[in-house]
Structure 1
Amino acid sequence: MSKGKGKLVDTSAQLDNLPWVEKYRPKSLSDLVSHEDITSTIETFIDANRLPHLLFYGPPGTGKTSTILACARKLYGDHYKSMILELNASDDRGIEVVREQIKNFASTRTMYSSGFKLILLDEADAMTTQAQAALRRVIEKYTKNVRFCIVCNYVSKIIPAIQSRCTRFRFAPLETEQIEKRLETIVEAEGINLTEDGKGALLKLSRGDMRRALNILQACHAAYERVDETAIYNCTGHPHPNDIHQIVHWMLSEEYTTVFQRIESLKQDSGLALQDILEEVHLYLRDVELPSNSKVFLLEALSDIEYRLGEGANETIQLGALVGAFKLGTSLASPQA
C-alpha cells in the first residue's frame, strides 16, 4: 500500500490491472532474457560513464524498449522517470516535436544528477525525413545534456546522418527457449492452466515476439479456464494446423471449383482471413515434398497474392488465384509437364 493525496493506493491492485507486457517488463538489464552481448556492452558504457547515442532496431517484441528502460533504472535509480523523455514517433513525428518537446527537454539541466538525461524516441522509422533532418542538429547541439536512444523496426528508414551519430544494435527475434523460460515464470505466478499443446501453439504463434506471446496468453487466460491448443487458435482467430493441412490437401488433389467452395465455406465458418491462411500455407509448403520447380512456382505465386492483398485487392478473387496457382503448380509436378 502507498499513500496518495488523502487516500491509500493499493499498488498490488494497480499491478493486477496492468497488461502483462507492462507488469512483467524486466526491471534491470540482468532480467532481460536475451541479447546478452548487447546488454553487457551497454553496461560497460554505463559503468565507464561513456554512454553514446544509441540506435536499437529489429522486429517488434524483441526487448528494444525494455532494454533502454532498464538502462534508465541503472543510471538514475528511483528518479528515472523524471530523467527520461519518452516519445512515440508514430504519433509525434512532425518537425514541431523535434523543435519544441525534444529541444525544451534537452536544453534543461538535470535535477537529480550532474550527468546527462535520456530521450527515448520510439518507432522512429515513422518520422518524416524533415523531422529526422531537424533531429540531427538537435542531437549535435545538446549532446552535453542528453543521450538519444532511437528505437525502430526498420533501420533502412532512418537517414544515414542519424545512423552515423549513433551506436547501432540489432535485436534479433527471440529464441523459442528464451520465450518459453519467461512464460513458465508467468504461468506459475498467475496460476494458469496451460497444457503442453497449448504452450507449443503459443510459442509457434509468437514467432520470436515476447510481447505477442504475453498478449495472447493473457487474452486466453481471461477467456478460458484451460488454455490448450484449441483455445489459443480460437482466441487469436488464427487458422488451426489441421485446417491448413486440409486446405493444402484439397488444393493439391481436388478439382478447382470444389476446392474454392470448400475453402470459402471454411473461411466463413471459422472467421479466417486469407492473409493468415497464406502465411500458414507458406510455412506448411516448406515441409512438403514437392519437385523444386513446383515449390518455387508456388512460393512466388504466394508472394504475389500477399502483395496484392496488402494493396487492397479483393479476397475472393485472390482466393481464386491461390487455388489456380496450386492447380498450375501440381501440373508442373506431373510427368506430362
Structure 2
Amino acid sequence: MAGNGESAMEVEEPEPQPKSAAPMEKGKAVVVPAGLPLHKDTPWVEKYRPQSLADVAAHRDIVDTIDRLTSENKLPHLLLYGPPGTGKTSTILAVARKIYGSQYQNMILELNASDDRGIDVVRQQIQDFASTQSFSFSSKSSVKLVLLDEADAMTKDAQFALRRVIEKYTKSTRFALICNHVNKIIPALQSRCTRFRFAPLNAAHITERVQFIIKAEGIDVTDSGLAAIVRLSNGDMRKALNILQSTHMASPRITEDAVYLCTGNPMPKDIEQICFWLLNEAFAASFRRISELKTKKGLALIDIVREVTVFIFKIKMPSDVRVQLINDLADIEYRLSFGCNDKLQLGSLISSFTHARSAMVAAAK
C-alpha cells in the first residue's frame, strides 16, 4: 500500500478464513442507535440493528476475520460490497463500537456518498477529519475511522482524490467503503482496501431473525405469512423487516394474503393462473386476461415477470426451451426497468411463451 510511511496496522489483504458455522444466537438485545429514542413507531430496521459483531445475522467467516484483525490491532482499509440489506453497514458500525467504545461518536466520520459525492467533500470534510489529531481515551486504538456508505455513487474525480487522502493519512485513519456495485469503484481504491463480499442472506438466517422480532413484538404471524415475508425479501434483511412492520401496521394478523396485499406483489395463485393462460390461451385472450388481472389487483408487470421467471422452474419442459425462456424474460425485465411501454412488453411476454409452447410441442413429436 502506497503512503507516507508504514503503519503498524497495515496488512496484506487477507483471505476470509471460513469457520464452522456456530449456532445462530442473534437478537440478544433490543437496541437503538445512539441518539434515537425508543418509540413504538421506531423503524424496526433501526430498532433491531445489531450492536455487536456477535449479533450480526450471517457471514460469520467475514465477521470473524474482521473481528480478529480488530483484536490484533491490524484493521486495514475495508471495501464491503454486495446487495442491499446483507449486513455491510451493521458490520462496520459494530466494529467501530468495539474499537472505540464510549468515544465512538468522536472517532468516526460517517458520510453517505450518494449525498456527499463530489470532490469538495473529499478535500474538505474527509481531509479535515483525517488530518485532525485524535485524542482517544480508548486503550484499543487512537486510529480514526471514515465510513463512506454508498461509495459507488462517488464521482471518479472524488474517488481519485480519496485515493490520495488514503495514502497520506494511513497512519492515523482507516477508511471503510461500502457499496452495492464494486465495479464502480476505481481499481486504485480497490487495491488499497481489503475486499469482502456480502452475499444475499439465506432463508434460514432471515427466518431466525424475523422469528426473534415476532416474539419480541408479540405479533400474530402464521407460518405461511412468515414464509411469504422470507420469500419476498430475496435475501435482504432490511426488506424483510420493512415488510414485517408494514404488514403488521396494516393487519392485526399477518397471513400470506396480508403480506402480498400489503406489498402489492402478485400472489402465487395469480402467477399460476397467468402461466396457465400463457401456455394455453391464444395471444389475444392471454393479453386481455392478464391486462384485466393487472388492473383489478394493481399489479406491476415487472413483478409479474419476476414471479413468472421463478414459477417456470416448476413447469416440465426441455432444458433448452427453459433456458431460452429465462433469457427472454430477463430481457423483458431489463426493458421494463428502463420504463419501456407495459403493453409492448406484455406482448413480448406472451410471444416468448408462444415460442416456448411451439418448441415444447415440436420436442414431444
- Judge same fold: TM > 0.5, yes or no: yes
SS at 2:199 equivalent = coil
After TM superposition, the structure 1 = structure 2 runs for residues 145-294 of structure 1, keeping only pairs within 5 Å, are 145-294=172-321
Separation (CA, whole Å) in 2 of partners of 1:176 and 1:292? 27
User: Which residue does 2:159 correspond to in 1?
Assistant: 132
User: Which structure has more helix as a fraction of its residues?
Assistant: 1
Q: What amino acid does structure 2 have at the position aligned with 1:179?
A: I
Asked if the contact 2:103/2:136 (under 8 Å) is kept, the reply is yes
Q: Which runs of 5+ in 2 are unaligned?
A: 1-34
Q: In the alignment, is residue 74 of structure 1 matched against residue 124 of structure 2?
A: no
Asked if the contact 2:302/2:333 (under 8 Å) is kept, the reply is yes
Separation (CA, whole Å) in 2 of partners of 1:196 and 1:79? 43
Asked if the contact 1:15/1:23 (under 8 Å) is kept, the reply is no
User: Which residue does 1:83 correspond to in 2?
Assistant: 107
SS at 1:295 equivalent = helix
52, 56, 60: which one pairs with 2:80?
56
Q: Which runs of 5+ in 1 are unaligned?
A: 1-10
SS at 1:211 equivalent = helix
Q: C-alpha displacement at 1:335, in angstroms? A: 3.0
Asked if the contact 2:246/2:262 (under 8 Å) is kept, the reply is yes
The one-character-per-residue Cα deviations of 1:49-82 (angstroms, maximum 9, x if unpaired) are 1111001011110100000000011001122122
Q: Using structure 2 for the length normalisation, give the TM-score.
A: 0.87
Q: C-alpha displacement at 1:16, in angstroms? A: 2.8
User: Which residue does 1:119 correspond to in 2?
Assistant: 146
Q: C-alpha displacement at 1:15, in angstroms? A: 4.2
The one-character-per-residue Cα deviations of 1:242-274 (angstroms, maximum 9, x if unpaired) are 000000000000111111000000001111111
Q: C-alpha displacement at 1:83, in angstroms? A: 1.3
Number of equivalent positions: 327
Q: What amino acid does structure 1 have at the position aligned with 2:233?
A: S
User: Which residue does 1:93 correspond to in 2?
Assistant: 117
User: Which residue does 1:295 correspond to in 2?
Assistant: 322
User: Which residue does 1:311 correspond to in 2?
Assistant: 338
Q: C-alpha displacement at 1:13, in angstroms? A: 5.8
Q: What amino acid does structure 1 have at the position aligned with 2:116?
A: D
Q: What amino acid does structure 1 have at the position aligned with 2:103?
A: H
Separation (CA, whole Å) in 2 of partners of 1:148 and 1:110? 15
Separation (CA, whole Å) in 1 of partners of 2:173 and 2:36? 34
Separation (CA, whole Å) in 1 of partners of 2:133 and 2:314? 59
Asked if the contact 1:216/1:232 (under 8 Å) is kept, the reply is yes
Q: Residues 168 and 72 from structure 1, CA distance in 2 versus in 1: closer, same or farther, beyond 3 angstroms?
A: same
User: Which residue does 2:4 correspond to in 1?
Assistant: none
Separation (CA, whole Å) in 1 of partners of 2:175 and 2:40? 32
The one-character-per-residue Cα deviations of 1:76-118 (angstroms, maximum 9, x if unpaired) are 1122122111111111111111111111111112232461111
Q: In the alignment, is residue 41 of structure 1 matched against residue 65 of structure 2?
A: yes
Q: C-alpha displacement at 1:327, in angstroms? A: 1.0
% same residue: 56
Decide which moves more: 176-185 or 296-305: 296-305
Q: C-alpha displacement at 1:296, in angstroms? A: 2.4
> Which runs of 4 or more aligned residues in structure 1 lie more than 4 Å from their structure 2 counterparts after TM superposition?
none
The one-character-per-residue Cα deviations of 1:192-235 (angstroms, maximum 9, x if unpaired) are 10100000101101111100000000001111000000010011
**Aligned-pair RMSD on alpha carbons?**
1.5
Asked if the contact 1:98/1:131 (under 8 Å) is kept, the reply is yes
Q: Residues 187 and 305 from structure 1, CA distance in 2 versus in 1: closer, same or farther, beyond 3 angstroms?
A: same
SS at 1:335 equivalent = helix
Decide which moves more: 291-300 or 116-125: 291-300
User: Which residue does 2:32 correspond to in 1?
Assistant: none
Separation (CA, whole Å) in 1 of partners of 2:158 and 2:180? 18
Asked if the contact 2:159/2:189 (under 8 Å) is kept, the reply is yes
